[in-house]
Amino acid sequence: MKFGVTFDYLCPFAWNAHEAVLAGLAEGRPWKVDFLAFSLAQAHTSEDDPAVWYNPAGQSGLDALQWGVAIRDHWPELFGKAHSALFAARHQHGLDLKDTQVLADAVSGAGCDPDEVAKVVSTGEPLCKIAGEHMMAVDQWMAFGVPTFITGDQAVFIRFMERGRLDDLDRALQLLPWNRLNEYKHTTIPR
């Protein structure tokens, strides 16, 4: 199965979903997954304001996205660990993803050389990729948030309540092609 899934390290529900995707890949699921950057900061920007990638300094989540995309594209064998570490820095440890040292520590713990990652980020290449992937997700699939799962011309925003549940992901992936149900939302979640 081939699918794409959007991410922004600011969203805990994206972390829940991505941990399940990574678990499936680690188990050897026959998936071809495209991890697509999506900026929640851009999604919340007024149409009258310039896009966040034209003034990235201090934009919430954009630095972490650049580091993640740099690793995804230049060190794909380390991406899974780094991807998890960047999510954990924000949601498990409550750290500020605008702090370069936080990003460096997270990716270093995942086996990446933070100086090399920073060099790639400084080229602007990851920022251009983020802009392109974000705009493609919006223009082609009407994506509005993360995680959005994409297969063919179908895209579905899914909010998983528990992190890393491969059984939940399996069930959701089976439903991706089914487009006669648009919204199904529990009014309360017993916890």
Instruction: Tally the domains of the chain.
Output: 1
Residues 115-127 have pLDDT tens digits of 999 999 999 999 9
Residue 180 falls within a domain, yes or no? no
Residue 191 falls within a domain, yes or no? no
- Whether the model clears a pTM of 0.85, i.e. scores above it, the answer is yes
- The rounded mean pLDDT for the chain is 96
The boundaries of the domain holding residue 41 are 2-175
> In 3-state terms, what secondary structure has residue 33?
strand
Residue 58 falls within a domain, yes or no? yes
Both structure tokens of 190: 């017993």
C-alpha 95/C-alpha 98 separation (Å) is 9
Residue 181 falls within a domain, yes or no? no
Residue 187 falls within a domain, yes or no? no
Instruction: Give the DSSP letter of residue 6.
Output: E
CATH of the domain at 115: 3.40.30.10
